[in-house]
Structure 1
Amino acid sequence: MWRYFSVSTDTWAGKVELEPSEFTGGRSLNSGQGGTARFNVRDARTAAPLTIDTLRPWERILVAEWDGNAVYAGFITGVDEDLDAGTVTVRHQDIWSLWESRHVLTVRGDGAQSAAPFTLTSKTLPTIAFRLVANAMTGDPAARYDLPLIMNADVSGTETRTYYGYKFQRTAAALKEITDADGGPDIDFDTQWDNGTETFRWVMRCGALTQGLWEWDATAAKKEVFGLTLKTDASKVANRVIATGEGSERNMIVRDDDSFTGTGPALEAVKSYQGMPDGGQLQQRATADLNASNDPTQQMSFKIRANGSVTAADLILGGTCRVKTSGLYFLTADWHEWRLIGFTFDRDWITLQIQEIGG
C-alpha cells in the first residue's frame, strides 16, 4: 500500500507521515518528473501533521513509498491554499529540478569567469556524468550543497570534456549533452530509504541501464493492461543533420551526418551547439542526433493497477517490458520487447511509458 512522508532536506530525516487525498508523481530516464499532493484540511486526521514546518518549499521533500520501498521523492516547490474549498495542494519536483539550479563551476561567484576550467580527461561518459553531479554538490556552505547521493567510482576511458566558468553552464544542460552524445549513457536517480528506513538517499544509476523484466499480455481475456495507446511520430524525422558549434560566420565549426534509408524526401535538421569548441564532440552530436531522428519514433503507454502483480516498487527504469498486442496498424500482432523509459502514478494506477527495443 501507498504511504507518504515529509522529510527534512537539512538532515534527510525527521520523517512525518502525511495523509493526502490525492498524490501524483513519476520517474523518467534522463529528465525530471513532478506531481501534486492534495490535502483536505477540514479532516482533523489529515490536518494534524500539516504545519508550515512539514510543508516548507525546498526545506522538505515528499516521499511516496509502496510497501516500505521509496518509489519517488520530490522537493516541495509550491503550496496552494484554498480556504473556501478547505484544501491545500502541494506541488513537488524530483531531483532533476535541482540540477537546473546548479552550475558547472569551480568558483561559485565572482572569479568564475577567470578561473581555470573544469576539465575531465580520459574518462567514460558515465564517469563524466558522475563527476558533473559531484561538482554540483560542491560549494560553500558545504551543508547546503551536499546531498545524500551515492555514485560509482571513476572509470578510465577515451572521453574528455572541458567546462569554462564564464559560460555558467547548468548542470542539467551538461548532463543532457552527455546522455545525448553518440553512445551516451542513461541516467536515473533511484530513491531509497537508508539506515533502517529512517533517513533518505538517492543512488545515481548511469550507463546502459537494462535491469528488470516484466511481461503483460494485452490480448488476454483477464485484463491487466488498460488504456493502451501507440503513438508513431514522424514530425521530427531528419535524414541529414547539420550540427553547428563554437564560432561565428565563416569561422563556425560545422559537422554533419546523413542516412537516406527508405524512399521519403530529404529532410534536414540544423542543430546548434554554440558552446561546443571540439569538432570531434560536435561530430558525435551530429551522429547521435541523426540516429535519434532518422526514423519515426514509437512510444506505447498503458495503465496497470497500483496493487496489481507488478507494483511501483518493482519497476526499474531501463528494464524490459514484454508486451503482446494485436489490432494495431503500426505494430504486428505478437510479443514485442519494449524499454521502460518512465512512469507516473496516483493512488490507484501506474501509467508506463515504453519504447520498443531496437525500434
Structure 2
Amino acid sequence: MMRYFSVSTATWGSKIEMPAFEFTGSRALNAGRSGSAVFKVNDPDVSEVVTLESIAPLERILVAEEDGNAVYAGLIVDIDEDLDSGTVTVTHYDIWWILARRYLLANRDGTAPAGPPLTWTGRSLATLANLVVAKGMDGDPAARYDLPLIMSADVAGTHSRTYEGYKFVTVEDALQEIMNTYGGPYVDFDVRWAAGTETLEWVMRSGELTTGFWEWDATAEKSEVFQPRLRTNAEKVANRVIATGEGQGEDVLARSSSLFIDDIPALERVSSYQDIHEGVKLQERATADLYSANQTTKQFSFRIPVGGSVKLGDLILGGTCRVKTTGFRFLGAGWNNWRLIQFDFDRHWITLQMQMIGG
C-alpha cells in the first residue's frame, strides 16, 4: 500500500500524512530526478491537511512510502494552485537538487576565491565521491548544512582530486566528473526511515552497485510485464574520442582514445574539459568517454503493477533484471540480463528503465 508524507527539512521528522490524489516519483543512477503530487483541495478533508505549513517550499519534503518503507523523497520546490479546478500541484526534487546548490569551498564567505584548495590523495574513486558530498555538508550554520546522509568508510586507492575555491565547483559537478572518469563509480542515494524512528535519512551508495536480482518471464500467459519496449540507438556512438583540457590554440592540452571493433565508419568526437590540466586525468576522461559510447546502446523498459510480486521497495538501482522476451527484431528470443538504471512510479504502475549488461 502506498502512502505519502510531508516531512520537515529542519528536523527530518514531524511526519504529516498527505492525501495525494496523484503522486509520481523517480530515482536514477548517477542523476537527480523529480516528481509531482496533486491534491484536490476542494475536498474539505484534503484542504484541512494541505496547508501553508505542510507544503511550504524548501521547508518540507514529500516522502512516498510502500508497506511502511520509504521509497522516494522529494524536496518541495514549486506549487501551482488552480482555483477553477480546485487542485494544488506540487513539484518536488530528490537530494541531487540540493547537491547542485552546494559548493566545494574551504571558506563560505567573501574570501572563498582566495581560500586554500581542497585536496584528497590516495583514495578510490568511490571514496572521492563520498568525500565531496561530505564537504558539501560542511558549513555554518551546521544545522542548515547538515543532511541525514549515511556514507561508507574511506577506502584507499590511487586517485586524487584538488578543487580550487575560485572555480566554485558544485558537489553535483564534482560527482559527475568522478563518475565519468574511466573506472568511476555509480552513485545512488537510497532513502529510508531511520531505524526505530520516524525521521528520514539517505544512504549514499557508491561503487559498482550490483546488488539486487529480479526475474520476469514476459512470455508467460499471466506475466506482470506490461508494455515492454526496446530502444536501439547509435546516435552517440564514437570510435575515436579526442579530449581537450586547459590551454588555448595550439597549446591546448589534448589526449585521444580509439577502439575500432565493429564494421562501422569512423566516428569522431571532441570533448572539452577546460578545468583539467593534467594529461593523465585527461586521458582517463577520453578513455571513459570512448567506452561509454563505443557501441550501439540498447535500453529496455516495461511496466509492472504497484502491489505486484515485485514491490517498489524491493528495487535496488544497479541490480540485475533477468527477463525472458520474444518478438523483438534487435534482441534474440530468450533470457537476457539487464542493469536497472532508473525507475519511475505513480499510484498504480512502476516503470523500469534498464540497460543491457555487457552491451
TM-score bracket for this pair, using the shorter chain length: over 0.9
Query: CA-atom RMSD, angstroms?
Result: 0.8
- Secondary structure at 1:294 match in 2: coil
* Alpha-carbon distance between aligned partners in 1 of 2:204 and 2:257, rounded to the nearest angstrom: 32
TM-score, normalised on structure 1?
A: 0.99
What CA distance in whole angstroms lies between the structure 2 residues aligned with 1:304 and 1:47?
32
For residue 143 of structure 1, report the CA deviation from its aligned partner: 0.9
Structure 1 equivalent of residue 36 of structure 2: 36
Question: Equivalent residue for 1:88?
Answer: 88
Q: Tell me how far apart the structure 2 counterparts of residues 260 and 213 of structure 1 sit (CA, whole Å).
A: 33
For residue 266 of structure 1, what is the aligned residue in structure 2? 266
**3-state DSSP class of the match of 1:343?**
strand
In structure 1, the partner of 2:22 is 22
Structure 1 equivalent of residue 223 of structure 2: 223
Question: After the TM superposition, which residues 113-262 of structure 1 pair with which residues of structure 2 at under 5 Å, given as runs?
Answer: 113-262=113-262
- Tell me what 1:50 maps to: 50
In 2: Cα distance, 1:266 partner to 1:305 partner: 44
Residue type at the aligned position of 1:241: V
1:274-313 to structure 2, matched below 5 A, reads 274-313=274-313
CA distance in 1, matches of 2:161, 2:112: 18
Deviation of 1:314 after TM superposition, in Å, equals 0.4
Which contiguous aligned blocks of 4+ residues in structure 1 show a shift greater than 6 angstroms?
Answer: none
Q: CA deviation at 1:195?
A: 4.3
| Cα distance in 2 between the residues matched to 1:153 and 1:210 | 18
Task: List runs of 5+ in structure 1 lacking aligned partners.
Answer: none
In 2, Cα distance between the equivalents of 1:219 and 1:197?
43
Letter in 2 for 1:17: E
Task: Tell me how many residue pairs correspond in the alignment.
Answer: 359
Please report how far the alpha carbon of residue 344 of structure 1 lies from its aligned counterpart in structure 2 after TM superposition: 0.3
1:9 paired residue number:
9
Partner Cα separation in structure 2 for residue 229 and residue 155 of structure 1: 40
For 1:105 and 1:325, the matched residues in 2 are separated by 50
Distance 2:30 2:165 in 1: 24
Taking the aligned partners of 1:122 and 1:337, their CA distance within structure 2 comes to 35
Tell me which amino acid in the other structure corresponds to 1:6.
S
Partner-residue secondary structure (3-state), 2:178:
helix
Using the alignment, how far apart are the partners of 1:104 and 1:299 within structure 2? 34
2:335 corresponds in structure 1 to: 335
Partner Cα separation in structure 1 for residue 11 and residue 45 of structure 2? 26
Structure 1 residue 74, shift from structure 2 partner: 0.2
Question: What is the CA–CA distance in structure 1 between the aligned matches of 2:276 and 2:56, rounded to whole Å?
Answer: 39
Aligned-partner Cα distance in 2 for 1:45–1:340: 39
Match status 1:99 vs 2:99: yes
d(CA) in 1 for partners of 2:229, 2:219: 14
Give the Cα separation in 2 of the matches to 1:97 and 1:310.
Answer: 29
Gaps of 5+ in 2: none
Query: 2-side partners of 1:270 and 1:167: how far apart?
Result: 23
Q: Which amino acid aligns with 1:7?
A: V
Asked whether the 8 Å contact 2:216–2:223 carries over to 1, the reply is: no
Distance in 1 between the 2:119 and 2:194 partners?
33
Identical aligned residues as a percent? 57
Task: Provide the secondary structure at the position in 2 that maps to 1:113.
Answer: helix
Mapped partners of 1:44, 1:2: distance in 2? 22
CA distance, structure 1, for counterparts of residue 76 and residue 278 of structure 2: 39
Matching residue's letter, 2:239: N
Q: Report SS of the residue matched to 2:263.
A: coil
Kindly indicate whether the alpha-carbon contact (under 8 Å) linking 2:246 and 2:274 is maintained by their aligned counterparts in 1.
Answer: yes
- How far the C-alpha of 1:128 sits from its partner, in A, is 0.4
Residue type of the alignment partner of 1:249: G
Name the CA distance, whole Å, in 2 between partners of 1:223 and 1:315. Answer: 18
Q: Partners in 1 of 2:121 and 2:250 — Cα distance?
A: 30
Q: Note closer, same or farther for the CA distance 1:45–1:196 as it changes in structure 2 (3 Å cut).
A: farther
Amino acid aligned to 2:49:
P
Question: For residues 44-96 of structure 1, what are the alpha-carbon distances to aligned partners after superposition, in whole Å with 9 as ceiling and x for unaligned?
Answer: 22222111111111111000010000000000011100011100000000001
Q: Deviations over 1:176-234 (max 9, x none)?
A: 01111111110000001014241110110011101110000111111210011000110
| Structure 1 residue 263, shift from structure 2 partner | 1.8
Q: Distance in 2 between matches of 1:286 and 1:13?
A: 44
**Matched residue SS, 2:54:** helix
